[in-house]
Amino acid sequence: MSVVLVDAGGTNIGSVRYALQRLGVDAALTSDAAAIRAADKVILPGVGAAAPGMARLRELGLVDLMRSLTQPVLGVCLGMQLLCERSEEGDVDCLGVVPASVRRFVEQPGLRVPHMGWNRLQRQREHALLAGLGEQDWAYFVHSYAVPHGDYALATTNYGGEFAAVIARNNFHGMQFHPERSAKVGARLLKNFLEL
């Protein structure tokens, strides 16, 4: 099985790659369109801001390619947000494969932004990506923007309100949290993605 990490400038690429190696997969880091198109699985990692992330994909000529992929695709953290239609972060158009607009957390007393920490994942519907996920499983989040709950949400969590933590639409999937930093839960969900 060939797995590629799209080199869109995210700072979590090394940790995602290492998490995949622990699962026995050596994912190539690439911005080459032919390599991405030929891969069995494509992962779009990302830590940073939406506007520079989309600018990097445009600069590399990968926007239309990413939209046209038919194999399983996984967006991680910012990568998940880039799968959506728009982001308030930089007021930017994103890939548009998930019908959602990414919004900034509304600051309120006792709610720090960015959201950093462990939150419980709440399953919303059955999906192979969530195989083995329990009622009390937690994941590690670091972000200031979130995808609202919608029919694409496989699992949600709550931080000043409910938002999508795991999404899927057709062959596109996303995890808002960092599976590579979410211990056994993150490893299990990455393994599930590799088995889709």
Mind telling me the catalytic residues?
A: 77, 178, 180
> Per-residue DSSP letters for 69-89?
--S-EEEETHHHHHTEEEETT
Only one residue has tokens 């700072």, namely: 11
What residues are paired with 87 via a beta bridge? 92, 102
Ranges of H-type helices in the chain: 13-22, 33-38, 50-59, 63-68, 78-82, 183-194
Which 3 state secondary structure label does DSSP give 145?
Answer: strand
User: Do the strands 162-169 and 172-175 form a parallel or antiparallel pair, or are they unpaired?
Assistant: antiparallel
Q: What is the dihedral of CA 169, 172, 175, 176, to 10 degrees?
A: -80
**Contact call for residues 166 and 83 (beta carbons, < 8 A):** no
